[in-house]
């Protein structure tokens, strides 16, 4: 079963208005096990509407129109749907009466324009509008397919204002759709990885997921994270879950420790969990990230057991004061150096008495220093160090992008370095 949504309204073909109704409808349809195969936006033009409606009715099993049920000249959805289906409309006396009543309650005479809101596609069921005037319509019909056999089609007309469309879909369409649709259940899984190029993930996983033609796989990338989403629809929840689990396990086997989460947990949460399991404490000394790492860690409730705190050591003086970085080291190597990163991690660990210390120093830009020991170092150069009392590792990064991106990615690298250390 596939659906098409037609959002009607010229305003959505301008840069100023967006079609959000289709997002809501897609969510609702997906929950019922129906995929949306097409979304169309059409302006308030009769010919264009008939053309889009005709195409949709031929290629989709369920066609939902949003908007264009109002009383004005440019509200043409009813007429266009009737024309595309080759059926007639009738003016429903009960609807007409309730429209008149709505106006009477406000003590105004109903303008003749509004009468067309009572036009109903022949054999359509009316959908009650609790929050507005125009009723929706539900038509369960059949049209001949290319081979001449009839194909069942559900055509639904819904009002445009989201405050009317949403309650109408929930109350009037959802139960009717459930009744006509075969029982289907959706199961989803997500695998999360940090700092691996999307192309690498795809090259390694495509040979596996492509064999699962009944599972929809989506790769989402952003902010130093790759997510693999799997989704499938089956006649039972158990069957659907087993199928996405089967694929997720094969991908987990391929990607191994590159996967930080197989159940949806964030990188921060995974780090917290691992620190907790090992009963370890952590402290941070951050220069270019200005506390971003500490901010991300403290967004997790209950991390206080394991994250004892951090210092924002932006100036050389505070690097010395809070993390005991020797002034001579800063003079000799500059603040953006592996030596200072190491000293920050060791120093904050000593100063706070934590099991693990992390130091971050780097150049977030946009311009680098032109004098002093750091002169000439490129923007995006970042050193991250991790000290656990036995060993102090340092990682050198050359991060692309602007200040915000460099800072975010530096914090992401620090979290991932810590996760891999704790693995
Ligand atoms: P009305 O009786 O209000 O004219 P209608 O069914 O004719 O209802 P439209 O005229 O198409 O609906 O849209 C009314 C308002 O609803 C629009 O101004 C817009 O704010 C909102 N709207 C319409 N379509 C959408 C959409 N697809 N996504 C989000 N908002 C929408
Ligand atoms: Mg309108």
pLDDT averaged per 10 residues, the chain (length 423): 96 97 95 92 98 97 97 95 97 94 91 93 96 94 89 97 97 95 88 96 97 95 94 92 98 97 95 97 98 98 96 97 97 97 98 98 92 94 97 97 96 98 95
409 burial (CB, 10 Å; 0-12 / 13-18 / 19+) is: buried
Instruction: Say yes or no: CB of residue 69 within 6 Å of ligand 1.
Output: yes
Q: Is the CB of 99 under 6 A from ligand 1?
A: no
Q: How many whole angstroms from 134 Cα to the centroid of ligand 2?
A: 10
Give the distance (Å) from ligand 1 centre to CA of residue 2: 24
Ligand 1 atom 10, closest CA? 68
Q: Which ligand is nearest to the CA of 10?
A: 1
Residue 47 has what pLDDT?
A: 97
Backbone angles phi and psi of 36, in degrees to 5: -95, 120
Answer yes or no: is the C-beta of 160 below 6 A from any ligand 1 atom.
yes
- Check if 337 has its Cβ closer than 6 Å to any atom of ligand 1: no
Q: What is the pLDDT of residue 36?
A: 95
Substitution site in 13, 67, 69 for ligand 1 pocket (most atoms within 8 Å of beta carbon): 67
The rounded distance, in Å, linking the Cα atoms of 172 and 129 is 9
Q: In the prediction, which pLDDT does 243 show?
A: 97
For the entire predicted model, the pTM comes to 0.67
Other C-beta atoms lying within 10 Å of the C-beta of residue 318: 15
Give Cα 271 to chain centroid, integer Å: 23
User: How far is residue 159's CA from residue 329's CA, in Å, rounded to a whole number?
Assistant: 69
Contact indicator for 68, 77 with CB cutoff of 8 Å: yes
Is the separation of the CB atoms in 76 and 46 below 8 Å? yes
Distance, CA of 22 to CA of 24 (rounded, Å): 5
Residues near ion ligand 2 (CB < 5 Å) are: 70, 75
- Whole-number Å distance between alpha carbons of 367 and 31: 50
Give the separation between CA 9 and CA 18, rounded to whole angstroms.
Answer: 10
Cβ–Cβ < 8 Å for 232, 187? yes
Atom of ligand 1 nearest to the CA of 20: 28
412 lines ligand 1 (CB under 6 A): no
Q: Which atom of ligand 1 is nearest to the CA of 165?
A: 6
User: What pLDDT shows up at residue 183?
Assistant: 81
According to the model, what pLDDT value does residue 298 have?
A: 98
Say how many CA atoms lie within 13 Å of 237 toward its Cβ: 2
Q: What pLDDT is attached to residue 85? A: 97
Atom of ligand 1 nearest to the CA of 44: 11
Is residue 244 within 8 A of residue 188, CB to CB? The reply is yes
Is the peptide bond between 17 and the residue preceding it cis, with omega within 30 degrees of 0? Answer: no
Q: How far apart are CA 385 and CA 340, in angstroms?
A: 9
Distances (CA, A) of 335 to 304, 324, 327, 330: 29, 13, 10, 5
Beta bridge partners of 72: none
Q: Is the CB of 67 under 6 A from ligand 1?
A: yes
Contact 190, 264 (CB under 8 A): yes
Please report the pLDDT score of residue 146 as a whole number. 82
What are the Cα distances from residue 207, in Å, to 121, 138, 251?
49, 43, 10
Please enumerate in sequence order all residues whose Cβ is within 8 A of that of 332, keeping only pairs 6 or more positions apart, or say none.
339, 373
Amino acid 315: pLDDT: 96
Measured by CA distance, the residue closest to atom 20 of ligand 1 is 161
Q: State in Å: Cα 71 to ligand 2 middle.
A: 7
Does residue 161 have its Cβ closer than 6 Å to ligand 1? yes
Spatial neighbors of 299 by CB under 8 A, at least 6 apart, are 268
CA of 41 relative to ligand 2 center, distance in Å: 15
Cα 339 from Cα 255, distance rounded (Å): 33
């Amino acid at each position: 079963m596939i659906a098409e949504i037609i959002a009607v309204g010229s305003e959505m073909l301008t840069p100023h208005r967006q079609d959000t109704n289709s997002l809501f409808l897609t969510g609702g349809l997906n929950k019922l096990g129906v995929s949306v195969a097409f979304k169309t936006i059409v302006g308030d033009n009769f010919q264009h509407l008939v053309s889009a409606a005709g195409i949709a009715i031929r290629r989709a099993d369920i066609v939902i129109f949003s908007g264009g049920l109002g009383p004005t000249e440019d509200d043409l959805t009813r007429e266009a749907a009737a024309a595309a289906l080759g059926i007639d409309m009738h003016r429903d006396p009960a609807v007409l009466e309730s429209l008149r009543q709505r106006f009477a309650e406000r003590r105004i005479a109903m303008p003749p324009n509004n009468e067309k809101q009572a036009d109903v596609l022949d054999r359509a069921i009316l959908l009650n509008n609790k929050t507005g005037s125009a009723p929706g319509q539900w038509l369960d019909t059949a049209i001949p397919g290319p081979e001449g056999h009839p194909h069942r089609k559900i055509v639904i007309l819904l009002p445009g204002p989201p405050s009317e469309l949403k309650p109408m879909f929930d109350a009037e369409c959802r139960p009717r759709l459930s009744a006509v649709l075969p029982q289907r259940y959706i199961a989803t899984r997500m695998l999360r990885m940090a700092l691996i190029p999307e192309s690498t993930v795809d090259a390694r996983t495509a040979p596996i997921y492509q064999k699962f033609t009944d599972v929809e796989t989506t790769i989402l990338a952003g902010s130093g994270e790759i997510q693999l989403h799997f989704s499938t629809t089956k006649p039972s929840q158990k069957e659907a879950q087993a199928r996405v689990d089967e694929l997720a396990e094969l991908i987990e086997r391929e990607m191994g420790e590159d996967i930080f989460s197989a159940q949806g947990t964030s990188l921060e949460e995974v780090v917290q969990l691992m620190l907790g399991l090992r009963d370890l404490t952590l402290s941070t000394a951050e220069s270019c990230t200005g506390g971003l790492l500490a901010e991300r860690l403290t967004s997790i409730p209950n991390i206080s057991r394991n994250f004892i705190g951090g210092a924002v050591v932006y100036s050389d003086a505070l690097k010395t004061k809070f993390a005991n970085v020797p002034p001579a080291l800063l003079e000799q190597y500059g603040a953006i150096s592996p030596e200072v990163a190491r000293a920050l991690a060791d120093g904050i660990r000593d100063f706070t008495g934590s099991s693990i210390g992390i130091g971050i120093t780097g150049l977030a830009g946009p311009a680098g220093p032109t004098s002093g020991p750091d002169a000439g170092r490129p923007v995006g150069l970042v050193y991250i160090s991790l000290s656990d009392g036995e060993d102090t590792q340092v990682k050198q990064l050359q991060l692309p992008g602007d200040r915000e991106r460099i800072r975010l990615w530096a914090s992401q690298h620090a979290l991932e370095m810590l996760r891999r250390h704790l693995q």
